[in-house]
Structure 1
Amino acid sequence: MFRQKAGEKLIELLVEWGVDHIYGMPGDSINSFIEPLRKAQDKIKFIQVRHEEAGALAAAAYAKLTGKLGVCTAIAGPGAIHLLNGLYDAKLDRVPVLALAGQVESDLLGTDYFQEVNLERMFDDVAVYNQRVMSAEQLPAVVNQAIRTAYVKKGVSVLTIPDDIPRFEVGKKALMTSNFYVKQEVRPLEEDLERAKELLNNAERPIILAGKGTHGLRETLLSFAEKIAAPIVLTLPAKGSIPDKHPYCLGGLGLLGTKAAYEAMQDADLLLLIGTSYPFTGFLPENTKTIQIDIDPYQIGKRYPVDVGLAGEAGFTIEWLIENVHDKQHREFLEECQQRMEKWWARLEPQGEDASVPIKPQRVIRALQEVAADDAILSVDVGNVTAWTARHFYMTNQKMILSSWLATLGCGLPGAIAGKIAYPNRQVFAICGDGGFGMTMNDFVTAVKYRLPLVVVVLNNHKIAMIKFEQEVMGNIEFGTDLHNPNFAKYAEACGGVGYRVEHPNELQPAFEQAVKQTKPCIIDVVVDADEAPIPGNITFAQVAGYTKHMLKVFFEEGKIDLPPI
């Protein structure tokens, strides 16, 4: 009598959990899993990447965009090791990902066999669930538990599967469990809600710092802000939760933020942290009453002292407060913040129109704004490009993803690949610096192979520009930041895509307008000014002093200043 093999059962369970694609590369220690996957291509697609890191980053990006499980696979040894960067991105941004790692056959474990690595130890820090599959009978229960844990704990589950296990038959004694997880409604304690209500009723200058936990709560959040007359500042992962140009929005905070947000923070007498564990506490006010709302009690008070903690879902908690707090009659603080923000927009607008050569990065983002659809997906890489996009792209209903906590270079292109797979009918842009794009550019051919008409925008200044700026702010001379780049437009064509090389501002808009009409992946290679620094919204004395020290060093070392005689 025919019995199902463990590899076939694994694919069946993934399909039952709603998985419809897997990122990875085939190889010797996962071939017995790849074969049943090949036979199930009508139900679950295999997306062959050119580097396992890109596969893991794409899986993490897919989870960020959709809330669904991202899945990646790799062989034992080097392939599994390559997964780590993308898995840590998923861990730190708290999204559900399943990694299926191959391993040498069971009877070879412990013999220092070819490509044998202690994967359970290696994955121990990154995973919320980390298990080696010991038998075909064990596999169904372990797969269900791994996926359930990834969803419930919002993290990475890793299954290490010796290559012989998928070939064994699943016997009658196999442990079968449920292939779903149960959600729960988490609400704060009534006494904590009452304490928060009292603080809100007594506040004259309340301000909201909204994190990624407010995504999907736009109308509720805005109603709350209206009720208490509070401006809203957004963390970078929260960008897009409300429109950037909404009257209540003060933009971001910190090095990527606005001056209006910084000044409002310093003037506030009550801070509400909603759905964020904001790490850059130097930008938060001192000695200000604080309420923190988070679904995870562990995050409350973790980084910044709070007076009231509300452990519960942001939506329910905000709705309770809307129903129970007083309408704020005095709105002078809000109006003053709005006036400051109008000045900020007036300051930013000319930057997007600058016709200088080399092209200013701000001008590139303005051109992107002109062609981006209201529901476009933006996958933003790490570096100066993050600052330019955060500050100069005005979100309406678009979705933006990035590596917010790990901040790993190279996330832009894999995120765009995942975005086009998740939303094939939407515009998808990867917004990259040349440093970040260079790290994963080999997977542009993956987009070509699977006919994913995404657009990669490369801000090409032949520099690791953010590090150049950091070195200068420290008072040091720039070192080790020069890049030798190819012509990325020609690279796109060599891969089978479409390339546009842009060196003058008047070439920008035509390139963007043509790129979004293409049915192939495109690269817009824009030569930008390497000396355009992403100046923070609020410049500190230390930054000014450091940059001054840097300029003096440059003058002295290049002989531009004559030393006085001794």
Structure 2
Amino acid sequence: MKAAEAVIEIMKDWDVSHIYGYPGDSVNNLVEAFRNHQEEISFIQVRHEEVASLAASAEAKLTNKVGVCLSIGGPGAIHLLNGMYDAKADGAPLVVITGQISHDLVGTDNFQEVNLERMFDDVSVFHRRVTSGKQMRPLLEQAFKDAYTYNGVAVLSVPDDVFKENVEHPQLRSSTFKKPALRADKEDLQKAANEIKRANKPLILAGKGAMGTRDELIQFGENIAAPIIVSLRGKGVIPDEHPLNLGNLGQIGTKPAFEAMEETDLLIMVGTSFPYRDFLPDDVKAIQIDIDSAQIGKRYPVDIGLVASSVEVLQWFNKHISEKEDRVFLRACQENMKSWWNHLDDIVQPRENKPMQGPQVIHTLQDYVEDDAILSVDVGNVSTWTARFFKMTNQQLVISSWLATMGCGLPGAIASKLKQPEKQVVAICGDGGFAMVMQDFLTAVKYNLPITVIILNNSKLGMIKYEQEQIGNISYGTALQGFDFAKFAEACGGIGFHVTNEDTLSEALESASKIEKPTIIDVEIEDRAPLPGKIEWGQAMGYSKYLLKKLIERDTEWDMPSLKTVLKRMF
């Protein structure tokens, strides 16, 4: 058996059905093996290696199983880095195979030689260069194991001549591999239970580690009379309109979530290491549940850390903590949330004879998304509008959370449709993010993936424009050349709709739901600042400074409605 054949056998043993990649000189012998086994493992040819790694990362987030991508060494490997860092940041298991120049030439500054060991050192939990065929099986198996064990990126760099070497038939054994089960210390569990019973205003912050615990989390919240706030990766852990849900936290968050954080006397973090310290309480007791001990107290000081799966800890709490009688804090938060929903309903009302804004698009989209659909959301204002205005029930959300890399929406949709073809898949992108990877809409067409891509098109980098204004600067470098993405879709062999109002948006969404081809719905929108649920004094001062600069430069008249909005959100 050739080393390239051994790669195929090991990938099959790890239940890998496809690999994202781009062929080339230093991996051509491996690509030949994929050609010979295309009925067993599909080689998904992308148009840019960044899309390969972003798609593999998205697949890992969606399934909690390893994603795999492939490129040549040198420039191809460099292009992979963005998706690799996305996987690292979001804890997604990823195996990356790159080519390399022949091992007898490594170190001679040969054509396309890059020091891959040094380049991948920061992003990977495992990285080895294979120097002989005999190393292929044990090193690739170890790469899969480390990717799963550490929820990180494992890399093999393989000179192309090694793929041609003979190896013994692999003794497959990875199917018996399991992560060790972690259980929290009973003494710590009891201490945590005692703190929860003493708390008057307990508050739960749930993240991606709470996914799959919906029933346990809701019962826990009901028992202890605690509202639940979710991180962006945790959106969907419970339905958005559930009575316990206060929505997201942070810049994309809700005012009720912000105010609950100010009032709580016990913060219970379930499967999250929330990165934005300014949105967490200044000085309250905290309990953190996480399967990764390195995350305990990493960004917020905790009194009790419970290293175990969220579901097991919540089940224990639900057995040992009786229902709380004092529900004053919970009811106040729920009333606050009702007011917030009314506020959002006002925002999404039809704008007669005016261009649509992002919130109206997401609100309209809601009616055409199936209950078990997958939403692949890009980074920018689209993240804010989706987090706030799309009311998730049982849908799944795929996004670049920690790295927040623009361009993740389309690769995530491609990966989602390949992995779960029976489900509706919708990508929600801004025109800036989509343009970064738009060439790979051709990939969706090539593989006949009926995804729907919604593009919020305002011909600008809306989030970055707002960020500049928030610190008091006049926006610069954020305007984009206008582009008709609907015509682009048709040029690629897909379907395109150009939308200018809510009626034509509804018609396009209705049509797209019946079309079995990749579709782009290009929606013209008007700019809208993605103001946080509650504005801090420093943000208000910065934004006022920007308005004053605009007045002085006479680029626009005084924007009194914007100033009123800022002041209203402050108080």
* Band of TM-score, shorter chain: over 0.9
Aligned counterpart for 1:233 among listed residues 221, 229, 236:
229
1:135 lines up with 2:124 in the alignment = no
Distance of 1:372 and 1:465 partners within structure 2: 25
Alpha-carbon distance, 1:353 to partner: 2.2
**Aligned equivalents of 2:557 and 2:152: distance in 1?**
55
CA contact (8 A) 2:378 2:400 kept: yes
* Preserved CA contact (<8 Å) 1:93 1:405: yes
Letter in 2 for 1:260: P
Q: Name the residue aligned to 2:473.
A: 476
Q: What residue in structure 2 maps to residue 209 of structure 1?
A: 205
In the aligned structure 2, how far is the partner of 1:472 from the partner of 1:399? 33
- TM-superposed CA distance for 1:366, in Å, is 1.0
The one of 184, 188, 194 aligned to 2:190: 194
Q: How does 1:284-299 map to 2 (within 5 A)?
A: 284-299=280-295
Per-residue CA deviation, residues 189-238 of structure 1 (Å, 9 max, x unaligned), is 11111111111111111110001111000000000001101000000100
What residue is the counterpart of 2:562 in the other structure? Answer: none
Task: State the number of aligned residues.
Answer: 557
1:282 equivalent to 2:278? Answer: yes
- Determine the structure 2 residue equivalent to 1:425: 422
Aligned to 1:69: 66
Q: Which residue type is aligned with residue 237 of structure 2?
A: S
Match of 1:54 in 2: 51
Q: Is the 8 A contact 1:354 1:360 kept in 2?
A: no
8 Å contact 1:413–1:430 — kept in the other structure? yes
1:71-220, aligned counterparts within 5 Å? 71-171=68-168, 178=174, 180-220=176-216
Asked if the contact 1:148–1:180 (Cα under 8 Å) also holds between the matched residues in 2, the reply is no
Cα distance, 1:561–1:498 mapped onto 2, change above 3 Å: closer
State the distance in 2 between where 1:273 and 1:171 align.
49
Write the distance in 1 (CA, Å) between the matches of 2:500 and 2:120: 45
Name the counterpart of 1:243. 239
Give the distance between the partners of 1:386 and 1:208, measured in 2 at CA: 22
Distance change (3 Å), C-alpha of 1:377 and 1:227: same
Would you say the 8 A contact 2:10–2:172 is kept in 1? no
- Cα 1:559–1:197 shift into 2, 3 Å: closer
For the aligned residues, what is the CA RMSD? 1.4
Unpaired segments ≥5 residues, structure 1: none
Name the structure 1 match of 2:252: 256
After superposition, the C-alpha distances for 1:518-545 in whole angstroms (9 at most, x for unaligned) are 1110000001012x11111011111111
CA distance in 2, matches of 1:561, 1:130: 57
TM-score by length of 1: 0.97
Letter in 2 for 1:291: I
Tell me the SS of whatever aligns to 2:127: strand
**Which residue does 1:490 correspond to in 2?**
487
Unaligned runs of 5+ in 2: 559-571
Are 1:540 and 2:536 matched, yes or no?
A: yes
Q: Which residue of 2 aligns with 1:403?
A: 400
SS in structure 1 of the partner of residue 348 of structure 2: helix
TM-score by length of 2: 0.96
1:256 counterpart SS class:
coil
**What letter is aligned with 2:327?**
R
Cα–Cα, structure 1 residues 342 and 560, in superposed 2: closer, same or farther, change >3 Å?
Answer: closer
Selected match of 2:315 from 304, 314, 319: 319
- Could you say if the C-alpha distance between residues 541 and 110 of structure 1 is closer, same or farther in structure 2, counting changes exceeding 3 Å? same
- Cα 1:180–1:97 change in 2 (3 A) is farther
Aligned-partner Cα distance in 2 for 1:561–1:142: 65
Amino acid at match of 1:511: A
Read off the aligned partner of 1:112 and give its amino acid letter.
Answer: D
Matches within 5 A, 1:356-367: 356=352, 357-367=354-364
Cα distance, 1:554 vs structure 2: 1.1
Amino acid at match of 1:284: L
Runs of 4+ in structure 1 deviating by more than 3 angstroms, as ranges, are: 174-180, 559-562
Distance in 1 (alpha carbons) for counterparts of 2:294 and 2:523:
44
Whether 1:310 aligns to 2:344 is no
For 1:176 and 1:280, the matched residues in 2 are separated by 44
Q: CA deviation at 1:176?
A: 7.3
Match status 1:466 vs 2:463: yes
CA distance in 1, matches of 2:412, 2:484: 22
Aligned mates of 1:17, 1:127 — CA distance in 2:
20
3-state DSSP class of the match of 1:425?
coil
